[in-house]
Every structure is written in C-alpha cells, then in structure tokens.
C-alpha cells in the first residue's frame, strides 16, 4: 500500500510539474508566434501604404479596391520631375531661387515616368498577395478610403487593417482575448492597422 501511495504521489508530482512548466511556456510561445505574425503583417501594411501614397500622387485620391491597387503596381507608372541645368554660385549668392532660374531659362524641368513595379518595390515583389493577411489561408485585409472634412478642408484618407482574431487564429484563445482587452484599454485597435478613415493620422500605423 505504501508503495502504491509513493507511485501515485510521484505521478502527481510529475503532472503538477508539467502543468506548472506549461503555464510558464504557453504565454512565451504565444508571444513568439504573435510577434512573428505581426512583423510580417506590419511589413505588408507598409507595402500597402507605399502603394496607396503613390496612387494618390497620381490620381489625387486613395482607393478602397485591392484589385485597383494591385493593377496600379503591376501596370502603372509614376512621375518624376527632373531638373536640367544648374544655378551658378555667384547667382545663388545673390539670392536666386530655382523659380527665378526657371523663369530666366537657366534651368528646365522635365517630367519622366517610371514603372511603379521597378521604382517602389524590390525585385521579386509579388503584388498579387498584397490583399492577403500573412499566415492565413485566404483572409484579406479590410481596406477602405474616404474623404473627411478637417477644419473645413476635405482630406483624403485610407485605412487597412486586420483584427487579432483573424491574424492569430489557431493560437491560444484566452491569450488572444487578453491581448484584445489590453489594446482596447489603451484605446488602440485590437489588431494591426495603418491609416484611419475617421480621424486622419498622417497614414500612421498603430504599431508606430
């Protein structure tokens, strides 16, 4: 009987030890995986922001369509104004500006165009997955564009975002719930987001 009790106690010690070890390791594993997914997501949102800003430079607005944005990256071009000529040092010393030199014909401006895919993004960049949330099968970022009035001025804005419920799907549910609560408590979006269509934020990401 004494031997049986010793065996049972040994098993209980092992079980309790494992439970304690697991309770310590679980949040560590969650954070490691969360950080990995978030880093990839932030990088993709930065690509979306880069494309949106170039699109606005060309068309004066943002777009809410990934199809439009992807087509823009793959097939469109952007303008670059090149200055031809220079202002001599003696004229610079006299206060000549580029505008004066332009009027006087010392310099000229020439507009040239470069393919978006060759200018903004590195070789091998795959625009076709711009919509896709990393580490998910087929989940898409939510993207929207709008015009809001700020101090009687119309301002073009956009946002792209994904909730942690989507990005971290498959991880420990209670850890996701806790993370969402922490984000809400600091008035932050419970996920990863760039831009804002309600309160213009200079196209910042909520990780910045």
Give the torsion through C-alpha atoms of 130, 131, 136, 141, to 10 deg. Answer: 130
Predicted pLDDT of residue 21: 46
Stretches where the chain sits below pLDDT 50 are: 18, 21
The pTM of the full predicted model, rounded to 2 decimals, is 0.76
| pLDDT at residue 107 in the model | 78
pLDDT tens string 149-178: 888 889 999 999 999 999 999 999 999 999
Residue 17: predicted pLDDT: 55
Question: For 149, left (φ over 0), alpha (ψ -120 to 50), or beta?
Answer: beta
Q: Are strands 153-163 and 142-150 parallel, antiparallel or unpaired?
A: antiparallel
């Amino acid at each position: 009987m004494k031997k049986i009790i010793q065996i049972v106690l040994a098993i209980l010690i092992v079980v309790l030890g494992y439970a304690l070890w697991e309770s310590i390791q679980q949040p560590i594993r969650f954070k490691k995986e969360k950080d990995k997914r978030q880093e990839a997501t932030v990088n993709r949102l930065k690509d979306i922001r880069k494309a949106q800003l170039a699109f606005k430079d060309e068309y004066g607005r943002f777009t809410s369509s990934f199809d439009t944005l992807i087509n823009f990256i793959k097939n469109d071009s952007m303008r670059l104004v090149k200055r031809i000529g220079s202002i001599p040092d003696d004229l610079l010393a006299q206060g000549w500006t580029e505008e004066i030199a332009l009027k006087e014909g010392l310099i000229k401006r020439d507009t040239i165009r470069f393919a978006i895919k060759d200018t903004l993004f590195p070789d091998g960049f795959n625009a076709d997955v711009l919509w896709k949330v990393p580490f998910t099968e087929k989940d898409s970022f939510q993207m929207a564009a709008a015009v809001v009035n700020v101090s009687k001025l119309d301002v073009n804005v956009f946002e792209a975002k994904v909730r942690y419920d989507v990005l971290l799907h498959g991880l420990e549910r209670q850890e996701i719930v806790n993370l969402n609560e922490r984000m809400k408590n600091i008035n932050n979006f419970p996920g990863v987001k760039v831009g804002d269509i309600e309160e213009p934020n200079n196209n910042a990401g909520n990780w910045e």
